[in-house]
Structure 1
């Protein structure tokens, strides 16, 4: 299984040349042989493509060093795994070295086995994400940073720099698949990150996948005295193996035409045998079809 992780910089540089408007990384630490929860919440297995993953901050830093224009996003960074101060430092660093191109997509993930692996209780994931958001807001927007005494983390009042380039902070997008996560996004996020599963022949429903959850989060945001227009969405498209570029492009174009979401990206992991050449060829084809 040749993952060609050493060619991240090449992929990023050439994808920018093809016209990519954003580049994205995921976050994994292990794929259990006998998982407590299979991928997608069903079955007892995890796809082979998830058996290896490069550290997301390494990948983002490599991409930042060789590109000038694309946004650099995380979909999705599992925030509860990280001490919040270290997470704030890593994300700030990516925003600084990329000159303000970070999009921080955060969530809680789906694998209890990975939580066990990093030593974080699965049942605390929501509370830890909330505390992490508190810390990120404080570290990114104040100096000196006020003392924090949380349920899981504490630190004294301190100067913590550098701050991100983006002001007042980088945009934060949250997963919003459950009622609790939708309420959190309504209170705290710049947007949500829906996921479209696209199979050969299409069948993607933009209303169900994008518009309905976005409208729900916006209604909740309004109840929190936020302007619902301040809550956006970035769509991740997950094509199944064998899905044609035309079907993927159709999903992108339907999202543009049938929703008010203007930003979508495609996860190529199930479409190629981890070949950079094939990935770039496919990315170029999809970009050409959606111009």
Structure 2
């Protein structure tokens, strides 16, 4: 296994200033994206959070509440459009879209538009979602989330590869329609999730997996990355796929605000490079700053420490 010490360059990306205090600084998003790319960021990402329930049925990340940052959240598609227009090189991605919320025809149009705006730099990170409150708000039965995601994947495939497009499924009906505009290149689908059904879906349908760690709460890379990925690759092989074609992008969420976050994140990235097959990480600094310039200082610090 190669490592940073052996010369392999780790790609490092960051979440856009989308939630919390920085969401109120939306006019600076383009500057943030352009500056982050100039500093060396390889990718820029958005989250997909709709509500911050006062009394949630299911709390965030095992708690009984939602973080205060989720009380102010900007739209992911609008932010990615801004980032696509403000950058030239960095990948743009979704981390992650709560995919069952969306009509697949509308989602295909939005993602195709983002891929065109970015010149083929889009990575759609998709998932089934987990908040009952949010599913009620969008009028989608949560019990249907897995089957809806599977059907959406079918529709995206058709919109990105066929013309005309037609689909007749359990949840959506699309009569034959011309669909001339395609992505610059077919966007690689990355899926998130640790449940058996989610890992099986990655193994059979995705181009990559989105594992996650949350220092200092969850840091065991064998548990969070290596063992689940071994399972996914075995499932892919059993399904007749080449397991070596499955990629990973690791999501790093430092969940506690800390003056040592730059060092902590940099050390984590180096450990990831030395002990896993991951060669692309994204860092979510949601909890670490309240100003755009503070975020950029952290981005600069992390990139300097790992390059």
Shorter-chain TM-score tier: over 0.9
SS in 2 for 1:156: strand
2:97 to 77, 82, 85: 77
2:174 to 137, 155, 167: 155
SS in 2 for 1:270: coil
- Where do residues 137-176 of structure 1 align in structure 2 (5 Å cutoff)? 137-145=157-165, 147-166=166-185, 169-176=186-193
**In structure 1, what is the Cα distance between the partners aligned to 2:305 and 2:97?**
29
**In structure 1, what is the Cα distance between the partners aligned to 2:180 and 2:195?**
35
Q: Does 1:287 align with 2:303?
A: yes
Distance apart, 1:2 and its partner CA: 5.5
Q: Does 1:193 align with 2:213?
A: no
**In structure 1, what is the Cα distance between the partners aligned to 2:218 and 2:297?**
24
Structure with the greater relative contact order (CA < 8 A, sep ≥ 6): 1 or 2? Answer: 2
1:204 to 215, 219, 224: 219
**In structure 2, what is the Cα distance between the partners aligned to 1:235 and 1:137?**
25
Aligned equivalent of 2:53: 32
Aligned equivalent of 2:85: 65
Q: Is the 8 A contact 1:30 1:52 kept in 2?
A: no
- Where do residues 3-14 of structure 1 align in structure 2 (5 Å cutoff)? 3=23, 4-14=25-35
Distance apart, 1:43 and its partner CA: 3.1
**In structure 2, what is the Cα distance between the partners aligned to 1:6 and 1:212?**
42
- Where do residues 1-291 of structure 1 align in structure 2 (5 Å cutoff)? 1=21, 3=23, 4-40=25-61, 42-145=62-165, 147-166=166-185, 169-199=186-216, 204-243=219-258, 244=260, 245-273=262-290, 275-291=291-307
**In structure 2, what is the Cα distance between the partners aligned to 1:183 and 1:17?**
38
Task: Give structure 1 regions of 4+ aligned residues with deviation exceeding 4 angstroms.
Answer: none
Please, which runs of 5 or more residues in structure 2 have no aligned partner? 1-20
**In structure 1, what is the Cα distance between the partners aligned to 2:79 and 2:180?**
22
Q: Is the 8 A contact 2:22 2:292 kept in 1?
A: no
Q: TM-score, structure 1 length as denominator?
A: 0.95
Q: Is the 8 A contact 2:49 2:73 kept in 1?
A: yes
**Aligned residue pair count:** 284
Cα deviation code 1:160-207 (max 9, x no counterpart)? 2310001xx1000001310010111111000110011112xx972222
Instruction: Please identify, of 247-256 and 66-75, the stretch whose mean Cα deviation from structure 2 is larger.
Output: 247-256
Distance apart, 1:220 and its partner CA: 0.4
**In structure 1, what is the Cα distance between the partners aligned to 2:252 and 2:88?**
24
**In structure 2, what is the Cα distance between the partners aligned to 1:249 and 1:290?**
6
Instruction: Please identify, of 42-51 and 103-112, the stretch whose mean Cα deviation from structure 2 is larger.
Output: 42-51
Cα deviation code 1:139-159 (max 9, x no counterpart)? 1011122x2111110111111
**In structure 1, what is the Cα distance between the partners aligned to 2:287 and 2:237?**
38
SS in 2 for 1:177: coil
Alignment RMSD (CA, Å):
1.2
**In structure 2, what is the Cα distance between the partners aligned to 1:246 and 1:104?**
29
**In structure 2, what is the Cα distance between the partners aligned to 1:177 and 1:196?**
12
**In structure 2, what is the Cα distance between the partners aligned to 1:287 and 1:92?**
30
